[in-house]
Structure 1
């Protein structure tokens, strides 16, 4: 079953976030010790906003449910089992989104070669296939301002994101939001496939067949209806269940 966000038991939220880190690593979508996936936690005892992130310095394939770090909206560490804190640039981006978008349980940021390449062209993601059609008219853009250490950039990230769940950080990478960790992972995997397929198709030197706006929008709505049904609890999530089974075989220690 997909993670249900702040109403989900903390142990399950930690497990699912650790699973996301491991899945990104298995897919070769990590970047050493950089980039982050965060999950929003229930508010603290005084109403402070809190979320989980990876300990700074660990590779994604080293993240477990028990070593995730809890931070508040100011970046202050609330709980740090590993003892290394979190990456400041990661905090800037993720805290901005979590504080502004309360519908987003998970925020997932990557620096993949394909994602960075597509974020570096003016056109962004083209509707060339079924994977990429789901993002038609649903991708936000934020211009590169340097390494995200300036807290003032948070308001610009939020303004550029608007109400979308997918953003290309120009010349930088990708940012995905999910109403659950499962949804963010599915969006991230499909966006990565879309970027890889776009690079492959355009690299052949032949004429690409771009889907019509009507077909692309129809496909995007079909995807959206399926996501909405799952997030509303009206349908099971066999895709997320399959991902967790994969980890149970490939990296069972993620749950520790």
Structure 2
């Protein structure tokens, strides 16, 4: 059973509205951020959503051999994080094969090995930024292609505006596989107050101060934005950009961690209906 069904309820009317998308009218069906009565309950929820994020990546075709790693911080011990197992396809990740690791890369729970590159990058970010609870990275087609340009996304659309002044380009160690600890520290330094990074000649990374669902959705969105920008560039026509003022306005309303979480709920519902083996 999904942990969201077991989450301790809190009346929607007593919660402050985080977004204009939340209905003001009472009694309507609308996703609510769950609250928990215990760390164990919270942990079950996080593990299930981490599996859901991996399955969502599989649906998007983000797999590339053993490359790609998603992490979420443990709710009881913030020095530990849950992650997908090494050399297991995103579509085969389930609650039973997740692993729990510390910041030194030691597996403290689970039977599978950890991805060395995942440890180097994610552990460094989690350790340097205690507010970051989740992080995603995968070797995707359009994100990797766009990363070769060494530039930020242009605000060519409302979708791209969600990342306006909220992502960075990391040039350090560009194209060199991140298996040394110092590489992780350089990536960690870049994640100061932003939700996404384009690592030159490598690919995309997203982080969330809210949830694994938000980190996963914004990764999916960032990949789509890279695809859109490459398509516009291929057309050979200079696009009309969203003005900075309008881009900031759009980012405030459609680019938050909460909105990323809310977007992911549609994916979660689809996964619940089609992939019950997630909870094995």
- Normalised by the length of structure 2, the TM-score is 0.80
Aligned pairs for 1:201-216 within 5 A: 201-216=232-247
Gaps of 5+ in 1: 232-236
CA distance in 2, matches of 1:172, 1:144: 11
Root mean square deviation, CA, Å: 2.2
CA distance in 2, matches of 1:240, 1:253: 19
Identify the residue that residue 240 of structure 1 maps to in structure 2. Answer: 264
Identify the residue that residue 279 of structure 2 maps to in structure 1. Answer: 255
Q: Which deviations, in whole Å up to 9, do the C-alpha atoms of 1:9-62 show, x marking residues without a partner?
A: 211111000000000110112222211000100354xxx710011111101111
Tell me if structure 2 keeps the 8 A contact 1:33–1:56: yes
Identify the residue that residue 61 of structure 1 maps to in structure 2. Answer: 91
What is the CA-CA distance between 1:89 and the residue it aligns to?
Answer: 1.0
The total of aligned residue pairs comes to: 244
What is the DSSP-based 3-state SS (H/G/I as helix, E as strand, rest coil) of the residue aligned with 2:198?
A: strand
Higher deviation after alignment, 5-14 or 171-180: 5-14
CA distance in 1, matches of 2:224, 2:204: 13
Q: Which deviations, in whole Å up to 9, do the C-alpha atoms of 1:160-194 show, x marking residues without a partner?
A: 22221111111101110112011112211211111
| 1:189 counterpart = 2:220 | yes
Please, which of 220, 223, 226 is the counterpart of residue 254 of structure 2? 223
Distance 1:99 1:185, change over 3 A: same
Identify the residue that residue 46 of structure 2 maps to in structure 1. Answer: 13
| Over 4 Å off, 4+ runs | 1-8
Q: Which has the larger radius of gyration?
A: 2
